[in-house]
Every structure is written in C-alpha cells, then in structure tokens.
Amino acid sequence: MENENDLARRTLTIRKTLDAPIELVWEAWTQTEHIVKWWAPKGMTVKVVKHDFKVGIEWKYTMPMPDGNEFISEGVYSVIEVLKKIITSANFRPMTEGVEMRTLFEKDGDKTHFIFSVVHPTEEYKMQQEKMGFYNGWGSALTRLEEIIKSFKK
C-alpha cells in the first residue's frame, strides 16, 4: 500500500476522451509533422531533433527559451504497442530528469479514450535524492505548504 500511495503521489495523470478515431489520435501523437503543431506552449516553437519512433531509440525535442538557452525534452521509448500504449523515459532539462511518460489509447467507436501519465521521479531517482537528504518528506511537505498558502489567500 505504501508503494501504491507513493506511486500515486509521484504520478500526474490526465484522462481525456477525444472526439476522433483512434488511428487519427495515434498519428497526431506520434508523427513529427503533427508533434510540432501541438507540443510547444503558446508563443514557443519546438524543433524535433530526433524522432525515430522505435523501441530503444532516443527522441529529442528542443525549444529555444527567451534567454537564449534551450529547453530540452528527450527520452528513450521502452514500449510501443501500436494503437494501444507508449512508454518512454523522459528528461526535461534543465528541470526534471528520470521521469516516465505513459500514454494509453483505447478505442470507443469513433472516439478515443486517452490516458496520459507522468511518473516522476523514478524509484531510483527518489533513492538518490533521499541519500542527499533532499527528498525526505518532500511530497507531503509540498502538500502542506500548498495548504498553508491557500489558507493565507483567504
């Protein structure tokens, strides 16, 4: 249970039901020509440096930041099941390293159920952070801080 709770605390999940057939959703999610249209936040552009959509192969996107640096997203696909599931490791440098992105697709007639999760960070990363004395109570501390901040806003 401890582990499940912990996993839940480290996972961001977003579910959507998209009003489009699964083939189209899959294509938009996985093809470079489409990715460049939706990946970047408003006002930014994304460059797909590497995107060979195969298991064990690295992908890498970059976004130039206003200060001249680059925001890099990269990872390696570990699971690709066509029209079903994609799992990839991911780093978002300079902010986050060692997360796992899971995307699940489920056909529902002409619609598609889409479940996206980011597990961050991995157990290994967490242990590393614990050794540094950094992670200790981090999650719960943040929850508390958010509560504190909310109470101040009232």
Partner 1 sequence: MPVETRRDVFQAIADPTRREIIRILAKEPMNLNSIADNFDVTRPAISNHIRILEECGIIAIEQQGRERLCSIRPVNLKEVSDWIGQFNMLWEHRLESFEKYVNQLKSKRSNHGKRK
Q: In the complex, which residues of this chain contact partner 1 (CB under 8 A)?
A: 12, 14, 16, 18-21, 24-25, 28-29, 34, 37-39, 41-42, 95-96, 116, 118, 120, 133-134, 136-137, 141-142, 144-146, 148-149, 151-152
By C-beta, is 78 or 143 nearer to partner 1?
143
* Choice between 17 and 78, CB closer to partner 1: 17
Q: Which residues in 5-23 are b (16+ Cβ under 10 Å) and which e? A: eeeeebeeeeeeebeeebe
- Residue 79 CB, shortest distance to partner 1, in Å, is 19
Which strands form 58-64's sheet, in the order they lie side by side? 11-18, 111-119, 96-108, 85-93, 70-81, 58-64, 47-51
CA 55 to chain centre: 17
To the nearest whole angstrom, how small is the minimum distance from the Cβ of residue 56 to partner 1?
A: 25
